Amino acid sequence: MAEDFTEVEVVRSESVPFSPIAEKMHENDLIYKGGIDRRRNRYPHCIVWTPIPVITWLFPFIGHVGICTTAGVIRDFAGPYLVAEDHMTFGNPTWYWQLSLDEVPSANKNEAWDRGVHDASEEYKGRILYPCCDNCYSLVAYALNTMKYDNSTSWNMFKLGFYTLVRGRYVSTLGIIKSWLPFVIVYAIISIVLYFTV
């Protein structure tokens, strides 16, 4: 199922400004006018979500999240002492929630956003992953708390999961299929087995 992507003009930071941190991390990276570029997996100031094999197949609202810099580069807590950059641990995002930089209480909103993402990434490079209590959602919540997003320092995995579910959107039709098809197949098999054994 091919999706039609419109070519967009590539521009430097005059149109969508990078912060100095993002410039330093990705000096040669270009950003696309209009922000999100699904082909290159660039989601500026977004929270991104992807399914976790087997777990999401059984519980479709449980998945893996990451947070993106203002340049759209994904950071996610991949495992003990490991924060992945520029690719998600379990595959490309299928769902995203673009947050407003206007909700970052700082004179230089891009700088504050990128500093929050950077500080969270550095913090989680020194942590062990505990799936139920200190996980990928915790890294994203740490970043939002550090930048005081929406004047709040009470972001946690439950609040983050709820808002991502309510305010997010699918990347594409393929994202919907990747998110839901395994769940449908698993439960169809379970239903058939139960129907013929009970």
Q: How far apart are CA 60 and CA 180, in angstroms?
A: 7
Q: How far apart are CA 149 and CA 141, in angstroms?
A: 10
pTM: 0.81
Res 198: pLDDT:
81
The letter for the amino acid at 80 is P
- Give the pLDDT mean for 42-60: 95
pLDDT for 155-181, tens place per residue? Answer: 999 999 999 999 999 999 999 999 999
Res 28: pLDDT:
37
- State the average pLDDT for the chain: 85
| Phi, psi at 119, each rounded to 5° | -65, -40
Spatial contact of 115 and 147, defined as CB atoms under 8 Å apart? yes
Paired strand residues for 84:
76
Q: How far apart are CA 112 and CA 106, in angstroms?
A: 7
- Beta strands (DSSP E) in the chain are 10-11, 31-32, 46-51, 63-68, 74-79, 82-85, 95-98, 169-170
The pLDDT-based confidence of 78 (bands split at 50, 70, 90) is very high
| Phi, psi at 138, each rounded to 5° | -65, -40
| Weakest-pLDDT range from 17-21, 101-105, 108-112, 158-162 | 17-21
pLDDT at 9 over 60: no
Counting residues of the chain whose pLDDT is more than 70, the rounded percentage is 83
Burial letters 100-109, b for 16+ CB under 10 A, else e: ebebbeeeeb
Res 1: pLDDT:
40
Q: How far apart are CA 137 and CA 156, in angstroms?
A: 7
pLDDT at 88 over 60: yes
